[in-house]
């Protein structure tokens, strides 16, 4: 399913340079992404504050906010509250946490309530906490305390991410599908031809997501090469925004690959010659994406990618950049 995500995508793959030619054309970018190591000053140490004298306890994070996790409470008082489902005592205990936090000029407080402690939700609200977000395993609540500043707690992630793939084979054919829109083959959207694709899963990078979606919907194995365009829209599902990335993929040895559609999502799939693709019944968005692909074939310009070591977070991040063509990483001949 499509999920709330921060837009930075993290992976653990080794840094790869696409070709010898890329190293000549983009030496500064490559040195920046693969060899340069930025040294950051150490993060501020956690404040040495103890809440052990309180019935409900927490710790102070780097941002000078109190963090409370009800699943990690060890006091005898909280053990009694839990046994008796004593919501009034929980409310008073949380109020004491907030009072102690204000006494030490903390910025705010976070309260994590796992499903097993859902009975404490009303107590938290009554103590002054507000809903921040919910996941299957827990509800996160927060309270801003610094009266001299506006609430600076980060809001929860507010975008969905989707991918679609222009998959081109060795015969210069494009893979296209018609979906079973809401299960109704007579629906107008079910009559449109479109690019295979779908939702990005948690922790999944764009390339992995589009390769998986193409395989799931059509049984065709294709390789991600880069990005051609993306659409950004607002007021999507649950009032969130949405970003949909049009990806460039290549499929090899397709004579030995058999199309097998996902019967739940797709009712037709076929290879179409590039010269015939625009004659299909397409949405304006997919028509625009295909025009961008044709422009890429003329100029070689697309969004390539490389990997960058994130020193602060100790991750390997994907960096997409405008490639003026000729690097060879997209495995396409510029006309």
CA distances from 58 to 110, 125, 135, 159 (A): 9, 18, 21, 31
Q: What is the mean pLDDT of the chain?
A: 84
Per-residue pLDDT tens for 120-162? 999 999 999 999 999 999 999 999 999 999 998 888 888 999 9
Residues constituting the chain:
335
Q: What is the pLDDT of residue 25?
A: 41
For residue 1, name the pLDDT band (cuts at 50, 70, 90): very low
Mean pLDDT lowest among 210-214, 234-238, 270-274: 234-238
Rounded CA separation 54/103 (Å)? 14
Residue spans of the domains in the chain: they are 10-34+158-323, 59-144
> Which regions of the chain does DSSP assign to beta strands (E)?
10-11, 59-60, 65-69, 108-114, 130-134, 138-144, 159-169, 173-179, 197-199, 223-233, 241-251, 266-273, 302-310, 315-323
Comparing 10-34+158-323 with 59-144, is the CATH topology the same? no
Q: Does the predicted TM-score (pTM) go above 0.85?
A: no
Task: State the average pLDDT over residues 286-299.
Answer: 93
The pair of three-digit structure tokens given for residue 169, joined into one six-digit string: 């084979």
The reply to whether CATH 3.40.630.30 applies to domain 59-144 is: yes
pLDDT digits (tens, 9 = 90+) for 309-326: 888 888 899 998 888 875
Quick one: pLDDT at residue 330?
Answer: 47
Residues 96, 54 contacting (CB under 8 angstroms):
yes
Task: Give CA–CA dist 250/32, Å, rounded.
Answer: 28
Nearest Cα residue to 307 out of 38, 36, 35, 34: 34
| pLDDT (0 to 100) of residue 50 | 74
Q: Which fold has domain 10-34+158-323?
A: Nucleoside Triphosphate Pyrophosphohydrolase (3.90.79)
What does the pLDDT look like over 17-57, one tens digit per residue? 334 444 444 444 434 444 444 444 444 455 557 788 999 99
**176 bridge partner residues:** 270
Q: Is the pLDDT of residue 334 over 70?
A: no
Band the pLDDT of 187: cuts 50, 70, 90.
confident
* Segments in the chain forming alpha helices (H): 20-25, 27-34, 76-84, 87-103, 121-127, 206-218, 274-277, 284-299
Give the model's pLDDT for residue 46: 54
């Amino acid at each position: 399913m499509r999920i709330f995500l921060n837009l930075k995508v993290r992976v653990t793959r080794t840094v790869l340079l696409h070709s010898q030619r890329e190293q000549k054309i983009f030496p500064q970018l490559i040195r920046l992404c693969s060899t340069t190591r930025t040294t950051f000053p150490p993060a501020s140490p956690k404040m040495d504050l103890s809440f052990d004298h309180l019935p409900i306890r927490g710790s102070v994070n780097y941002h000078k906010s109190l963090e409370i996790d009800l699943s990690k409470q060890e006091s005898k008082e909280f053990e009694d509250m839990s046994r008796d489902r004593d919501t009034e005592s929980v409310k008073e205990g949380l109020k004491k946490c907030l009072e102690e936090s204000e006494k030490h000029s903390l910025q705010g407080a976070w309260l994590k309530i796992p499903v097993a402690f859902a009975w404490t939700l009303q107590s938290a609200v009554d103590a002054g906490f507000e809903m921040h977000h919910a996941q299957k395993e827990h509800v996160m609540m927060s309270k801003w305390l610094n009266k001299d500043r506006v609430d600076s707690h980060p809001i929860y992630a507010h975008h969905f991410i989707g991918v679609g793939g222009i998959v081109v084979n060795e015969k210069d054919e494009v893979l296209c599908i018609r979906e079973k829109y809401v299960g109704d083959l007579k629906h107008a959207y079910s009559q449109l031809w479109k690019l295979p694709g779908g939702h990005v899963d948690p922790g999944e990078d764009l390339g992995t997501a589009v390769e998986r979606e193409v395989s799931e919907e059509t049984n065709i194995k294709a390789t991600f090469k880069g990005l051609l365009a993306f659409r950004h829209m607002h007021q999507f599902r649950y009032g969130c925004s949405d970003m949909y990335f049009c990806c460039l993929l290549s499929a090899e040895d397709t004579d030995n690959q058999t199309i097998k559609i996902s019967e739940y999502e797709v009712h037709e799939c076929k290879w179409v010659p590039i010269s015939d693709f625009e004659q299909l019944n397409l949405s304006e968005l997919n028509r625009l994406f295909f025009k961008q692909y044709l422009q890429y074939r003329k100029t070689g310009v697309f969004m390539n990618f490389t990997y960058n070591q994130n020193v602060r977070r100790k991750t390997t991040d994907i960096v997409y950049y405008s490639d003026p063509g000729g690097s060879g990483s997209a495995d396409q001949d510029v006309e």
